[in-house]
């Protein structure tokens, strides 16, 4: 029993030692990595473009709102009329009764009565 050195496939004689295969593998790996990075950059660029379009549209809408005049309220009460309206306070009858100023009203929710100031 033993190893018969003459019964093998022989010594491999078809190999290169100039590094060409290693260089080809490195280039292939780099190309693959570059393709994956390119996909990631394309995805980021698409998201950025979408965000920029949305921001641009929003800024135009905000600018339109800022330059637009407010609604016409001339058919409603004037500022002076609103300032002269009596102030109505609601009080549940518990605790200290609020002090009334002239023109104010106090509605007691417990008794249902209104007091004038």
Q: Per the structure block, which two tokens stand in for 40?
A: 């990631």
Does residue 1 register a pLDDT over 60?
Answer: no
Q: What is the pLDDT of residues 70-96, one digit of tens each?
A: 888 778 888 788 777 778 888 898 989
Any domain includes 52: yes
pTM: 0.38
48 and 83 in a common domain: no
Query: Are 22 and 56 contained in the same domain?
Result: yes
- Tens digits of residue pLDDT in 13-59: 666 567 777 888 888 888 999 899 999 999 999 999 999 999 999 99
Asked if the structure places residue 27 within a domain, the reply is yes
Domain that holds residue 47: 18-65
Q: Which residues of 58-81 are buried (b: 16+ CB within 10 A; e: fewer)?
A: eeeeeeeeeeeeeeeeeeeeeeee
CA distances from 30 to 26, 35, 42 (A): 6, 9, 18
Is residue 50 domain-resident?
yes
What gap in Å lies between CA 90 and CA 97, rounded to an integer?
A: 10
């Amino acid at each position: 029993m033993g190893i018969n050195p003459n019964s093998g496939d022989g010594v491999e004689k078809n190999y290169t030692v100039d590094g060409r295969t290693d260089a080809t593998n490195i280039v292939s790996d780099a190309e693959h990595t570059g393709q994956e990075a390119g996909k990631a950059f394309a995805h980021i660029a698409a998201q950025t473009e979408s965000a920029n379009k949305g921001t641009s549209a929003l800024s135009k809408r905000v600018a339109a709102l800022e330059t637009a005049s407010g609604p016409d309220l001339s058919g409603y009460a004037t500022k002076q009329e609103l300032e002269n309206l009596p102030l109505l306070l609601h009080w549940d009858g518990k605790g200290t009764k609020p002090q009334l100023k002239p023109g104010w009203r106090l509605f007691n929710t417990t008794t249902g009565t209104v007091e004038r100031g």
